[in-house]
Amino acid sequence: MSERAASIKPERAISEAAALGEKLARGAELFAKLCDDEVRIATTPKDEVWRQDKVTLHHYRPLAPVTVSVPVLIVYGLIGRYTMADLQEDRSLVRNLLKLGIDLYVVDWGNPTRVDRWLTLDDYIDGYLDECVREICRRHKVGKISLLGICEGGVFTTCYAALYPEAVKNMVLTITPIDFHGDTAENRLGHGFINLWTRSLAPEDIDRLIEAHGTLPGEFMGSVFSLMTPMRTLMKYNLDMLEVMDDEKKFLNFLRMEKWIADRPHHPGEAAKQWLKDLYQDNKLVNNAFTISGRVVNLSNVTVPVLNVFAKDDHIIPPATSRALGAKVGTKDYTELPLPGGHIGVFVGGTSQALLGSGIAKWLAERQ
């Protein structure tokens, strides 16, 4: 070993250390100046138009003349919050769609607690989501609307479109799992960990977890997500933050993302059992064995036009888990839109988020 001489250049090490010190000093100054109010997310103006229990429906104010007459409802899941679609002014799917003439609504599931332990996916899909669709139809005097599902919310809209095709004009899915065992198709390192982890549990482990907590705690799911990008998580608050902390714009971007990550609601317990056991473990959706309110969700009943958007490097929802839908739906008007980037990058990444908004708007406009 003594002959070995890989080395770090001392002069560079010293100058880097000095630069680092300056960066930290500038960052500390900026950090002291910023307050929480300045780290605002989901700022696009909207009005609450309906509420039931903890669920609220919001209508976005237009940012341009409406060119697509059929209103669109954004449906996020119960893991995370819809604010991802409107993270900041220059990285907002919501703003991009509004500027392109889409009439847009969003449903906010609120903050479930242990009180909501007994809510099921049936309640969310056949209850609240159905009520939202009806309310929008009533307001616009139309018989059907378009749905835009995101992640778990995409599963909600898929089930809804299969159960109530007569109420849906078009369906856009983004980063939505359909075949929950599709992660094994590619078996990429670091991809599909939630699928693998959930399958490593026994069904009774999940039952007891819900019995103990009443919900699937938001912080628990946050930890599982952190495990998926282990070194990124470990480095985030030193190296990553260090890179941006002396640049106000970049630092605010970083903090907005952190704010979204920190806002992780609890997942109602019974609904979480269905999500983890029926879907992640037993893979019932793609096998047409999942039931909502006693009715089987048969994917061949999805006869409306479908745009399926997936991220090519999505480590949470590997592409194969989304793309499985194509072979199952009962419509010939099925389109896939692969975008560069990962699960979140699709919404906030420089290239993808622009392609996402324009791609969806164009597809909807062609199917009015």
Contacts of 79 (CB under 8 A, 6+ apart): 151, 152, 221, 264, 267
Please report how close the Cβ of residue 12 comes to another protein at its closest, in angstroms: 5
> Which residue's CB is nearer to another protein, number 35 or number 231?
231
Does position 64 bind another protein by CB under 8 A?
Answer: no
- With CB under 8 A as the contact rule, the residue among 60, 160, 180, 193 that binds another protein is 193
The one segment of 95-103, 154-162, 192-200, 331-339 that binds another protein by CB under 8 A: 192-200
CA dist 368 and 364 (Å) reads 6
Cβ-based neighbour number of residue 29 at 10 Å: 11
- With CB under 8 A as the contact rule, the residue among 39, 41, 43, 53 that binds another protein is 53
* Pairing label, strands 86-88, 295-296: unpaired
Burial 83-96 (b: 16+ CB within 10 A, else e): bbbbbbeebbbbbb
Does position 355 bind another protein by CB under 8 A?
Answer: no
Does position 34 bind another protein by CB under 8 A?
Answer: no
Which positions from 122 through 141 interact with another protein, judged by CB under 8 A? 123, 127, 130-131, 134
Which positions from 67 through 96 interact with another protein, judged by CB under 8 A? none
Does position 13 bind another protein by CB under 8 A?
Answer: yes
> Which residue's CB is nearer to another protein, number 37 or number 238?
238
Does position 6 bind another protein by CB under 8 A?
Answer: yes
Please report how close the Cβ of residue 19 comes to another protein at its closest, in angstroms: 10
Please report how close the Cβ of residue 270 comes to another protein at its closest, in angstroms: 9
In sequence order, the β-bridge partners of residue 145 are 168
Please report how close the Cβ of residue 75 comes to another protein at its closest, in angstroms: 18
Residues with active-site annotation? 151
| Residue whose C-alpha is closest to residue 316's, from 111, 92, 82, 80 | 80
- With CB under 8 A as the contact rule, the residue among 32, 141, 200, 294 that binds another protein is 200
CA quadruple 322, 324, 328, 332: dihedral positive or negative? Answer: positive
CA dist 83 and 343 (Å) reads 15
Contacts of 18 (CB under 8 A, 6+ apart): none
Which positions from 203 through 262 interact with another protein, judged by CB under 8 A? 205, 208-209, 211-214, 217, 219-220, 222-224, 226-227, 230-239, 242
> Which residue's CB is nearer to another protein, number 7 or number 65?
7
* Pairing label, strands 295-296, 291-292: antiparallel
> Which residue's CB is nearer to another protein, number 47 or number 219?
219
Please report how close the Cβ of residue 126 comes to another protein at its closest, in angstroms: 9
> Which residue's CB is nearer to another protein, number 55 or number 162?
55
Please report how close the Cβ of residue 127 comes to another protein at its closest, in angstroms: 5
Contact 242, 20 (CB under 8 A): yes
E strand or H helix at 50: strand 46-52
CA dist 112 and 216 (Å) reads 10
Contacts of 146 (CB under 8 A, 6+ apart): 70, 71, 72, 73, 168, 169, 170, 171, 172, 364
- The site for another protein (CB under 8 A) is made up of 1-10, 12-14, 16-18, 20-21, 24, 52-53, 114-119, 123, 127, 130-131, 134, 189-190, 193, 196-197, 200-202, 205, 208-209, 211-214, 217, 219-220, 222-224, 226-227, 230-239, 242
